[in-house]
Amino acid sequence: MSDETNRTYPHIPLGGILRGKRALITGVANDRSIAWAIAEAFHAEGAELAFTYPGEAMGKRVLPLVERLRPAAVLDLDVSKDEDVTRCFADLRKVWDGFDILVHSIGYAPREALDGRFAEVTTREIWRITMDVSAYSLIGLTRAALPFMPKGGSIVCLSYYGAEKVVRNYNVMGIAKAALEASARYLAEDLGQDGIRVNAISAGPLKTLAAAGIKGMRSMLGENADRTPLKRNISQEDVARAALYLCSDLARNVTGEVLHVDAGQNIVGVVSMA
């Protein structure tokens, strides 16, 4: 083995690439959530975790689930309210003086927005709610996280191919994901001077609580595998591995990127000329 291939990587600790790191995870809804798979991967690699959940009803699901990972804090947070964000991070300050990673896995559109003609079902109020919760929340949470990251850090958000191309019935969520990806790029440029990296993961279709509200998702999953170059669907764990890479020193010079984890689906144009 040459010296070149046998080199060591001093920025990457052995036996747990996130050992000594702290991560705030948003968006866990159940054990099929992408955010939950990310949390498990981060925990396995040595990270200390904290979680947020939106409201008492969701808390009843989330609290028993995340307790198995021995979190430092589990906090109620409505990202659509600035005062709630302020309170949540003040409560977090009581247990952590800083953290290294923020995972944004938040998206919401009223159910009636995800079925029907885009021009007809997308009201002004639906637009406002969807963009606020699904896109602006990345900016709001990032601003609140900045005082916790004086030595730099990593922020990752979750997107979908509907941000780039039309996915039937995804409707206003596609617009929100496009705004989310653009926000990640602008934040990456803005926060680079602070040593903070911001990236997005565009995940292929998955069976999650959020996806259940999209008409036709079940048939999409059934047909999707044959349309990807790798001839398979992805799993939550695939996305978690990508997040692990982006939030570790393995990706210390990667920022402003949208990493596709979709078995190659995004590179395919016309599926067949037959």
| Whether the Cβ atoms of residue 9 and residue 208 lie closer than 8 Å to each other | no
16 found inside a domain:
no
17 found inside a domain:
no
The domain of 118 spans 22-262
100 found inside a domain:
yes
Selecting among 136, 160, 186, 245, the annotated active-site residue is 160
DSSP state of 251: G
Query: How high is the pLDDT of residue 206?
Result: 85
For 21, the 3-state DSSP assignment is coil
189 found inside a domain:
yes
Within 13 Å, how many C-alpha atoms sit on residue 221's CB side? 13
Query: How high is the pLDDT of residue 9?
Result: 46
Please, what is the end-to-end C-alpha distance for the chain in angstroms?
Answer: 49
Residue 51 tokens, joined: 């979680």
1 found inside a domain:
no
Check the CA dihedral 19-24-27-30 and report its sign: positive
123 found inside a domain:
yes
153 beta partners: 196
8 found inside a domain:
no
170 in active site: yes
Amino acid in position 237: E
Amino acid in position 104: H
How many domains, in total, are found in the chain? 1
**Exposed/middle/buried for residue 193 (C-beta within 10 Å: 0-12, 13-18, 19+):** exposed
Reading the chain (274 residues) residue by residue, the pLDDT tens digits are 344 434 444 555 555 999 999 999 999 999 999 999 999 999 999 999 999 999 999 999 999 999 999 999 999 999 999 999 999 999 999 999 999 999 999 999 999 999 899 999 999 999 999 999 999 999 999 999 999 999 999 999 999 999 999 998 999 999 999 999 999 999 999 999 999 999 999 999 887 656 555 666 666 666 788 889 999 999 999 999 999 999 999 999 999 999 999 999 999 986 554 4
Euclidean distance between CA atoms 109 and 111, whole angstroms: 6
Query: How high is the pLDDT of residue 1?
Result: 36
Q: What is the CATH number of the domain that holds 176?
A: 3.40.50.720
268 found inside a domain:
no
Selecting among 53, 108, 161, 170, the annotated active-site residue is 170
For 159, the 3-state DSSP assignment is strand
